[in-house]
Amino acid sequence: MHEFNRPASRARVARTIAALRANQIDAELAPSPAAARARVLELIPDGAEVLCATSRTIEKLGLLEDLEQSGRYAAVRPAYLKLDRKADAAQIRRMRSAPEFVVGSVHAVTDSGQVVIASQTGSQLSAYVYGAGRVIWVVGTQKLVTDLDEAMRRIEEHALPLEEARSQLAYKIGSGINKVVVVNAEFRPGRTNLIFVPARIGF
């Protein structure tokens, strides 16, 4: 098994959760993928505005259907996809940058509670960093790493080739590590939830 695709032990996850909480990120371990899915839905009230960031984790858990197709929420992506990408570009940027809730995943979490996200376009980063009122990340425990150096190795050696293949299949274009965000801590308590899934899920 690839070193970056091996789920972490429960003891390591517990230590990382403690580190994340010390950094004002509300972290927890769901007992199963189904429980992680239910926990996300528990955190979002009916009728809330929700942006789903592009994420294999969110897709695999079935949350894309829950959040965008159930009719329970004001889903941002279906709304902006109806707009003209050129004529309405400014409106689309605003919609994607400052939703009430953003739900997605990350590429690595260090033992000291740093969260690392890489992106080709940066389209999800503004919401994660500041724009969204609430942030919910769902993260497979195979994404735990020792430090930032190992986080970048995980992104470059493991996540990027998988995302490259997905992007070529979906969009006929490649991918790249153009923008990287490191969240050392959350400034506003209660803004960010990170839910670990005890399984290999996502890139």
- Cross-strand bridge partners of residue 32: none
Q: What is the pLDDT along the chain (203 residues), one digit of tens a residue?
A: 478 999 999 999 999 999 999 999 999 999 999 999 999 999 999 999 999 999 999 999 999 999 999 999 999 999 999 999 999 999 999 999 999 999 999 999 999 999 999 999 999 999 999 999 999 999 999 999 999 999 999 999 999 988 888 778 777 787 899 999 999 999 999 999 999 999 999 99
Cα 122 to Cα 24, 53, 180, 185, 195, distances in angstroms: 24, 11, 8, 19, 22
Residue type at 78?
P
- Cross-strand bridge partners of residue 197: 140
Cα 187 to Cα 9, 23, 66, 203, distances in angstroms: 29, 8, 29, 27
**How many residues can be counted in the chain?**
203
Do residues 55 and 63 make contact, with C-beta atoms less than 8 angstroms apart?
Answer: no
